[in-house]
């Protein structure tokens, strides 16, 4: 097996199993979970940088305000994505969250067209059209747009765009984002502790252990993803990325027993059909090249 396929599969599998982790923290407010995740990710990544002795980029970035501003924006988008996702898991909206990541590849096509002025192929436009039909169907059935899915898809799509054009690699970029957010995380956690509402004050040893585990749990899949992306084609990555929302969907239906009406199933089927079209078209275009 190409080691890149193994690395990418492990990354997407880890992301797909994240709901099981956040379910352990169901008694902790989503904002506090995200702040802990941010803080301990920063600590873990600083340890990784220390082991690898990769510090020189920090001094260079500190002298580039535009780079700092771009990564501050990407850090804000990542925080919005994390906060929405944790809230969705805590409030039995995991199926909506999985829908967001099913939609994400098609959002990337739209972002490429409108912002990067890329020219999607006919098959990609067909996939986007079918997926849009699915989203509209879900909106009609619910009486409102599927906000959770749309926020997750567009926030991570915009985050991916900023990282695509950013000046730093995966490890350095994530390290800078968490370092920029660390003062905010410290402030929020300090305030909650002072008010006596923090898990550090009220939580048991198991809860504290799960919160601390959030650091490596966040960083390791991203590092595996970066290692995989360098070794396999984008087409293969595009197909493997459906592992994550598929696992989330299965967990939501069979483990968390979230309600899934037959009317909603039609919308999911349309989006799954769009993903099949998108994947087959990408595979065919790659083969032709």
**Is the predicted pLDDT of residue 279 greater than 90, yes or no?**
no
Q: What is the predicted pLDDT for the residue at 1?
A: 53
The pLDDT of residue 252: 93
Which DSSP string do the residues of 4-32 spell out, in sequence order? HHHHHHHHHHHHHTHHHHHHTTTTS-HHH
Number of helices and strands (H, E) in the chain?
A: 14, 0
CB 277 within 8 A of CB 130: yes
Q: Could you give the angle at which helices 170-194 and 205-229 cross, rounded to 10 degrees?
A: 160
Neighbours of 136 (CB within 10 A): 14
Distance of CA 288 to the CA centre of its chain: 31
Candidates 77, 100, 108; CA nearest to 234 is 108
Cα 244 to Cα 15: distance, rounded to the nearest angstrom? 6
pLDDT at 11 over 60: yes
**Quick one: average pLDDT of 221-247?**
78
CB 30 within 8 A of CB 90: yes
Say what the pLDDT of residue 178 is. 93
Sign of CA pseudo-dihedral 72, 73, 76, 78: negative
Tokens of 14: 């880890």
pLDDT above 90 (res 288)? no
Contact criterion met (CB below 8 Å) for 99 and 269: no
What per-residue confidence (pLDDT) applies to 128?
A: 86
Q: What is the mean pLDDT of residues 5-18?
A: 91
- 166/54: higher pLDDT: 54
pLDDT band at 118 (very low <50, low <70, confident <90, very high): confident
What is the per-residue pLDDT for 33?
Answer: 94
> Using 50, 70 and 90 to split pLDDT, how confident is the model at 251?
very high
Burial class (CB in 10 A: 0-12, 13-18, 19+), 253: middle
Model confidence at 234, in pLDDT bands (50, 70, 90)? low
Q: Where are the domains of the chain?
A: 3-288
Structure tokens at 89: 């898991």
Angstrom distances, CA of residue 150 to CA of 91, 103, 132, 170, 278: 17, 8, 11, 25, 19
Please give the residue that has the higher pLDDT: either 279 or 130. 130
pLDDT given for residue 275 in this prediction: 84
C-alpha 25/C-alpha 212 separation (Å) is 12
**pLDDT, tens digit, 9 for 90 and up, residues 47-88:** 999 999 999 899 899 889 999 999 999 999 999 999 999 999
Q: Are 84 and 151 in contact (CB under 8 A)?
A: yes
Query: Residues of the chain with pLDDT > 70: what percent?
Result: 98
């Amino acid at each position: 097996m190409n080691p890149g396929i193994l690395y990418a599969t492990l990354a997407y599998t880890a992301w797909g199993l994240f709901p099981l982790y956040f379910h352990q923290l169901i008694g902790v407010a989503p904002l506090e979970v995200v702040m802990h995740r941010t803080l301990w990710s920063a600590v873990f990544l600083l340890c990784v940088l220390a082991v690898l002795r990769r510090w020189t980029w920090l001094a260079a970035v500190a002298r580039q305000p535009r780079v700092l501003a771009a990564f501050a924006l990407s850090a804000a988008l990542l925080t919005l994505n994390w906060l929405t996702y944790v809230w969705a898991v805590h409030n039995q909206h995991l199926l909506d969250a999985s829908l967001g990541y099913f939609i994400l590849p098609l959002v990337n096509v739209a972002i490429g067209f409108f912002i990067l002025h890329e020219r999607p192929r006919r098959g990609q436009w067909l996939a986007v059209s079918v997926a849009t039909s699915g989203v509209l169907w879900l909106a009609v059935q619910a009486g409102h747009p599927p906000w959770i899915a749309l926020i997750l898809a567009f926030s991570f799509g915009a985050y991916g765009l900023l990282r695509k054009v950013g000046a730093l690699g995966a490890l350095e970029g994530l390290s800078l984002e968490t370092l920029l957010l660390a003062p905010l995380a410290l402030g929020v956690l300090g305030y909650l502790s002072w008010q006596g509402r923090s898990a550090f004050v009220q939580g048991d040893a198991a809860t504290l252990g799960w919160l601390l585990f959030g650091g490596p749990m966040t960083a390791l899949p991203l590092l595996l993803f970066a290692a995989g992306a360098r070794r396999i084609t984008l087409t293969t990555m595009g197909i493997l990325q459906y592992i994550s929302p598929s696992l989330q969907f299965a967990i939501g239906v069979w483990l968390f027993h979230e309600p899934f009406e037959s009317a909603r199933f039609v919308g999911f089927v349309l989006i799954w059909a769009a993903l099949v079209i998108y994947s087959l078209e990408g595979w065919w275009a790659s083969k032709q090249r």
